[in-house]
C-alpha cells in the first residue's frame, strides 16, 4: 500500500533502491502522502518525532552512526523552518540529509490558504542543491524527468562530499488516498571516483623541512588512519596536534592543544611555529591554535580534502590536496626520510611538563566544572561513544586528551546548543556501544524536547553540568566587564532537569559535590537502566576563576 501520489511513490521506491532505509517523519496533514509512501514500506525504518527541529537533529545522529543518507519529512508552513538549524549543522559538518518538505500547489501560495509559506529554495544558503518535484506525473517523459531529479538529489547527498539536499513536493487535495500500485523507478548509482595526480614534490618539501605540523580537526574515527599517523609522528621533524573531535590519538600526539599552546611565551614562538602546516578534517574548536597559526603563519599550508574544499582557516592556504586523508598519508609515508630536527622533542617535552602540572593542579582543585570534568573523563568506561555539548564541555575535553577506545562527536559544524540531545539520541539508536552526552544546562534545557521521543534507546545516558547558566560567559574575556553578565550573557537560572525527565520517562539522578560525583557516576554509567540522566550541580561564580587559575598555574610550570 502506498500513496496514490505518483511523485512521492516513485521517490520512495528509488530511495529504497539506492540502499537507504531511514526517515524521520513529523506529523502533519499536507505530508500525508509522504507518510503513506514511506512508513508503509517494509524496507524503510520510519521514526515519528513531533518537534521538527529535534527530528532533524535526531536524523543527523542517525546519519553519523550509519554513515548513510537519512531522510526527514514534514508538513508545510513554519514546520519547514524548524529544520533550518539542523540543516546548517549538516551543511558545515558535511552530513548527508535528504530534506522532504510537503507543500501546497504553487497556485495556493501567498493567497491566504493557511500553513503556507514560500518553501522552494528556502534553504539555499545551507543545502548543496534544491529541487521541486512536479505534483502530477503521468506520461513516460514526466516519470523519466522526475526519476532524473530524484537520482541527482540522492547522489548529491553524498558526492563529491556529503551534505543536505532539499526536495520540495507539492501535493494537491485529496491527500489521504492510497494505491496498491507501487510506482517503480531506477537508481543510477555512484559516479566515477575522480583520480588526482599524485603529489610528487610534496615529500621533497616535507623531507627538507625541520618543522612540519599536522593539525587534525573534526573527523569520524578511523583506526587505519591512526596507525599511519602513529608512524608519521615518529619522524622528529613532525608534530601531530589533534582535537578531541578528530579521534586522532597516539603516544606522540599532542591531544591537549590548549594546555600546551597557552604556555608558549613570545620568545619561544619560533621554536613551536611550523614551516609547513598540513590540516585535515573539519572545524577546529581551539581558539588558541587558530590565533597562534593566524598570528604565526607557516610558509606552506596544505589542506587535505577529498572534495577539494578550500578551507582557509588560517588565511595562509597554499594548496588543497584532493585525496582522502588515508590515501594521502598512506602514499606519502614510505617517502618520508629520517630528519635531525628537534621540533617534535620540543613539543613532547613541553607536553610532559604540562601534563604533570595539570595533575598536580587538579589534585587540590576546588569543587568546580573543571574538577567535575576531571572525574568524568577519569571514570568514562572503555569502548563508549561521547557526545560533547557545545560551549564548555567540548572545550574542557581538550584539556584532558583522547582515549583510543572512545569515539568523540560534537555538533561543531555551526556549534549550536540547540540540537545536542536530539543528535546524541539519534546516534545512539543504531549504536551497540554506550552513548554518553556531556552537555551544559542551557544546552540541555534548550533541546529537552529531544526527550519527547519514542525512539530513545537504553544505551543512551546524559550528563548535565548544571552551573545555573552559560558558564562560558564567565570565562571568555568581555561579558564580565559589562553590567549585563548574569541576565543577558550567562542568563542565570534555578531550573532543574528532574521533572522534565519525569515527564518523558527518563531515569534521573543528581550530584552536588565531588564525593557524590565519584560515588554515583560509576553506577550511573554502568547501570543497564536507560535512557537516564545525571544532573551535576556546580558553583557558577567559582568556575571561571578556577579555570583562569588553572591556566596561570600550568603556564608557571615552565619556571618551576
Ligand atoms: C542555538 C544557539 N544559541 C545561542 C548560542 C550562543 N551560546 C554559546 S555557548 C552558550 C551558553 C551555553 O550554556 P550551557 O549549555 O549551560 O554551557 P556552559 O557554558 O555552562 O558550559 C550560548 C547561549 C549557540 N551557540 N547556539
Ligand atoms: Mg551551563
pLDDT at 195 over 50: no
Q: Is there a single domain that holds both residue 408 and residue 484?
A: yes
Q: Whose Cα sits closest to atom 22 in ligand 1? A: 470
- What's the 3-state SS for 484-504? CHHHHHCCCCCCCCHHHHHHC
pLDDT at 194 over 60: no
Domain that holds residue 539: 365-559
d(CA 412, CA 146): 35
DSSP H/E element including 321: strand 319-321
Q: Is there a single domain that holds both residue 381 and residue 277?
A: no
What is residue 190's predicted lDDT score, i.e. its pLDDT?
58
Counting ligands in written order, which one lies closest to the CA of residue 370? 1
Q: At what angle do helices 369-379 and 343-363 cross, to 10 degrees?
A: 110
- Cell of residue 122, nine digits: 528556502
- Cell of residue 389, nine digits: 555539548
Which of ligand 1's atoms lies nearest the C-alpha of 417? 26
| Residue 451 CA to ligand 1 centre (angstroms) | 19
192 lies in some domain: no
What is residue 138's predicted lDDT score, i.e. its pLDDT?
87
Q: b or e along 122-159 (b: 16 or more beta carbons within 10 Å of the residue's beta carbon)?
A: bbeebbbebbbbebebeeeeebeebbebbbebbbbbbb
544 lies in some domain: yes
358 lies in some domain: no
Phi-psi category of 65—alpha, beta or left, where left has phi over 0 and alpha has psi -120 to 50? alpha
pLDDT in tens, 267-321: 999 999 999 999 999 999 999 999 999 999 999 999 999 989 999 999 999 999 9
438 CB less than 6 Å from ligand 1? no
417 CB less than 6 Å from ligand 1? yes
Which of ligand 1's atoms lies nearest the C-alpha of 490? 11
d(CA 224, CA 222): 6
194 lies in some domain: no
| Residue 445 CA to ligand 1 centre (angstroms) | 11
What is residue 225's predicted lDDT score, i.e. its pLDDT?
97
474 lies in some domain: yes
What number of other Cβ atoms are within 10 A of residue 265's Cβ?
10
Q: Is there a single domain that holds both residue 457 and residue 549?
A: yes
- What φ, ψ does residue 263 adopt, rounded to 5°? -100, 0
442 CB less than 6 Å from ligand 1? yes
Q: Looking at residue 157, which CATH number applies to its domain? A: 3.40.50.970
Q: Is there a single domain that holds both residue 138 and residue 206?
A: no
Which of ligand 1's atoms lies nearest the C-alpha of 418? 1
Q: Is there a single domain that holds both residue 327 and residue 373?
A: no
Q: Is there a single domain that holds both residue 340 and residue 390?
A: no
pLDDT at 79 over 90: yes
What is residue 160's predicted lDDT score, i.e. its pLDDT?
85
415 CB less than 6 Å from ligand 1? yes
**Which of 144, 177, 210 is a domain's end point?**
177
Q: Is there a single domain that holds both residue 423 and residue 289?
A: no
Report the relative pairing of strands 2-3 and 178-179 from DSSP bridges: antiparallel
| Residue 289 CA to ligand 1 centre (angstroms) | 21
Q: Is there a single domain that holds both residue 246 and residue 285?
A: yes
Determine contact, residues 14/154, Cβ cutoff 8 Å.
yes
| Residue 216 CA to ligand 1 centre (angstroms) | 24
pLDDT at 196 over 60: no
397 CB less than 6 Å from ligand 1? no
DSSP H/E element including 25: strand 22-25
Q: Looking at residue 289, which CATH number applies to its domain? A: 3.40.50.1220
pLDDT in tens, 237-275: 999 999 999 999 999 999 999 999 999 999 999 999 999
For a pocket test of ligand 1, which of 414, 442, 475 has the largest count of ligand atoms closer than 8 A to its C-beta?
442
Determine contact, residues 115/75, Cβ cutoff 8 Å.
yes
pLDDT at 73 over 80: yes
Counting ligands in written order, which one lies closest to the CA of residue 390? 1
pLDDT at 446 over 50: yes
Query: Which residue(s) pair with 532 in the sheet?
Result: 461, 507
Span 66-89, average pLDDT? 98
| Residue 391 CA to ligand 1 centre (angstroms) | 5
* Alpha-carbon distances, residue 372 vs 365, 513, 550 (angstroms): 10, 9, 14
d(CA 315, CA 279): 13
Q: Residue 152: pLDDT band by 50, 70, 90 thresholds?
A: very high
Q: What percent of the chain stands above pLDDT 70?
A: 98
What is residue 192's predicted lDDT score, i.e. its pLDDT?
46
Determine contact, residues 49/15, Cβ cutoff 8 Å.
no
Determine contact, residues 539/492, Cβ cutoff 8 Å.
no
**Which of 318, 346, 374 is a domain's end point?**
346
What is residue 193's predicted lDDT score, i.e. its pLDDT?
45
Q: Is there a single domain that holds both residue 165 and residue 215?
A: no
pLDDT in tens, 87-146: 999 999 999 999 999 999 999 999 999 999 999 999 999 999 999 999 889 899 999 999
What is residue 198's predicted lDDT score, i.e. its pLDDT?
62
d(CA 309, CA 325): 13
Q: Whose Cα sits closest to atom 11 in ligand 1? A: 470
Q: Is there a single domain that holds both residue 218 and residue 76?
A: no
pLDDT at 197 over 60: no
Q: What percent of the chain stands above pLDDT 90?
A: 93
353 lies in some domain: no
441 CB less than 6 Å from ligand 1? yes
* pTM listed for this prediction: 0.93
pLDDT in tens, 82-102: 999 999 999 999 999 999 999
418 CB less than 6 Å from ligand 1? yes
83 lies in some domain: yes
Q: Residue 530: pLDDT band by 50, 70, 90 thresholds?
A: confident
The mean of the pLDDT values for the chain is 95
Residue 6, CA atoms < 13 Å, CB-side half-sphere: 16
Q: Is there a single domain that holds both residue 111 and residue 7?
A: yes
Span 437-464, average pLDDT? 97
d(CA 347, CA 355): 12
480 lies in some domain: yes
Which of ligand 1's atoms lies nearest the C-alpha of 415? 25
Q: Whose Cα sits closest to atom 12 in ligand 1? A: 470
Q: Whose Cα sits closest to atom 9 in ligand 1? A: 391
* Alpha-carbon distances, residue 558 vs 257, 264, 363, 378, 552 (angstroms): 16, 10, 19, 25, 11
Query: Quick one: the chain helix, strand, coil %, rounded to 5?
Result: 40, 15, 40
Determine contact, residues 250/231, Cβ cutoff 8 Å.
no
Which segments of 21-137 does DSSP mark as H helices, in order? 32-39, 52-66, 78-81, 84-93
For a pocket test of ligand 1, which of 399, 417, 497 has the largest count of ligand atoms closer than 8 A to its C-beta?
417
- Count of the separate structural domains present in the chain: 3
Determine contact, residues 276/206, Cβ cutoff 8 Å.
yes
Q: Is there a single domain that holds both residue 324 and residue 271?
A: yes
What is residue 345's predicted lDDT score, i.e. its pLDDT?
97
Amino acid at each position: 500500500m502506498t500513496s496514490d501520489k505518483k511523485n512521492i511513490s516513485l521517490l520512495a521506491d528509488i530511495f529504497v533502491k539506492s540502499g537507504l532505509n531511514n526517515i524521520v517523519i513529523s506529523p502533519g496533514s499536507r505530508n500525508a502522502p509522504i507518510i503513506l509512501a514511506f512508513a508503509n514500506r517494509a524496507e524503510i525504518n520510519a521514526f515519528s518525532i513531533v518537534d521538527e527541529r529535534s527530528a532533524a537533529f535526531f536524523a543527523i545522529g542517525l546519519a553519523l552512526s550509519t554513515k548513510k543518507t537519512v531522510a526527514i519529512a514534514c508538513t508545510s508552513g513554519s514546520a519547514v523552518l524548524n529544520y533550518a538549524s539542523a540543516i546548517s549543522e549538516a551543511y558545515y559538518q558535511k552530513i548527508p540529509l535528504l530534506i522532504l518538505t510537503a507543500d501546497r500547489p504553487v497556485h495556493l501560495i501567498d493567497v491566504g490558504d493557511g500553513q503556507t509559506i514560500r518553501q522552494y529554495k528556502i534553504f539555499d544558503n545551507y543545502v548543496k542543491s534544491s529541487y521541486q518535484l512536479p505534483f502530477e506525473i503521468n506520461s513516460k517523459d514526466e516519470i523519466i524527468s522526475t526519476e532524473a531529479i530524484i537520482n541527482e538529489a540522492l547522489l548529491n547527498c553524498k558526492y563529491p562530499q556529503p551534505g543536505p539536499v532539499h526536495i520540495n513536493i507539492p501535493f494537491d487535495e485529496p491527500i489521504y488516498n492510497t494505491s496498491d500500485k507501487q510506482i517503480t523507478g531506477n537508481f543510477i548509482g555512484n559516479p566515477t571516483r575522480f583520480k588526482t595526480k599524485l603529489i610528487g614534490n610534496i615529500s621533497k618539501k616535507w623531507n627538507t623541512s625541520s618543522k612540519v605540523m599536522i593539525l587534525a580537526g573534526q573527523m569520524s574515527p578511523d583506526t587505519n588512519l591512526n596507525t599511519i599517523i602513529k608512524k608519521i609522528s615518529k619522524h622528529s621533524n613532525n608534530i601531530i596536534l589533534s582535537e578531541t573531535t578528530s579521534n586522532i590519538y597516539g603516544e606522540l600526539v599532542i591531544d591537549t592543544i590548549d594546555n600546551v599552546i597557552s604556555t608558549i611565551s613570545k620568545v619561544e614562538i619560533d621554536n613551536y611555529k611550523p614551516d609547513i602546516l598540513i590540516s585535515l578534517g573539519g572545524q577546529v574548536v581551539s581558539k588558541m591554535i587558530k590565533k597562534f597559526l593566524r598570528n604565526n603563519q607557516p610558509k606552506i599550508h596544505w589542506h587535505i580534502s577529498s572534495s577539494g574544499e578550500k578551507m582557509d582557516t588560517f588565511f595562509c592556504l597554499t594548496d588543497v590536496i584532493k585525496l582522502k586523508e588515508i590515501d594521502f598519508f598512506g602514499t606519502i609515508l614510505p617517502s618520508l626520510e629520517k630528519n635531525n630536527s628537534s621540533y617534535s622533542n620540543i613539543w613532547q617535552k613541553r607536553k610532559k611538563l604540562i601534563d604533570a602540572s595539570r595533575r598536580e593542579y587538579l589534585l587540590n582543585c576546588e569543587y568546580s566544572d573543571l574538577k567535575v570534568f576531571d572525574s568524568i573523563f577519569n571514570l568514562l568506561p572503555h569502548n563508549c561513544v561521547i557526545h560533547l555539548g557545545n560551549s564548555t564541555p567540548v572545550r574542557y575535553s581538550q584539556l584532558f586528551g583522547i582515549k583510543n577506545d572512545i569515539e568523540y562527536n560534537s555538533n561543531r559544524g555551526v556549534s549550536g546548543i540547540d540540537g545536542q540531545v536530539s543528535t546524541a539520541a539519534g546516534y545512539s539508536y543504531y549504536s551497540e556501544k554506550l552513548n554518553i552526552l556531556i552537555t551544559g544546562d542551557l544546552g540541555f534545557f534548550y533541546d529537552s524536547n529531544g526527550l519527547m521521543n519514542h525512539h530513545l534507546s537504553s544505551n543512551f545516558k546524559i550528563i548535565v553540568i548544571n552551573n545555573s547558566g552559560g558558564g562560558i560567559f564567565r570565562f571568555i574575556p568581555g561579558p564580565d566587564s559589562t553590567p549585563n553578565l548574569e541576565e543577558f550573557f550567562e542568563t542565570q537560572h534555578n531550573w532543574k532537569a528532574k521533572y522534565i525527565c519525569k515527564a518523558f520517562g527518563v531515569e534521573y539522578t543528581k550530584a552536588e559535590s565531588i564525593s557524590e560525583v565519584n560515588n554515583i557516576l560509576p553506577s550511573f554509567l554502568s547501570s543497564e537502566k536507560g535512557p537516564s540522566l545525571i544532573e551535576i550541580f556546580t558553583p557558577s561564580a567559582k568556575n571561571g576563576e578556577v579555570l583562569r587559575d588553572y591556566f596561570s598555574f600550568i603556564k608557571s610550570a615552565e619556571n618551576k
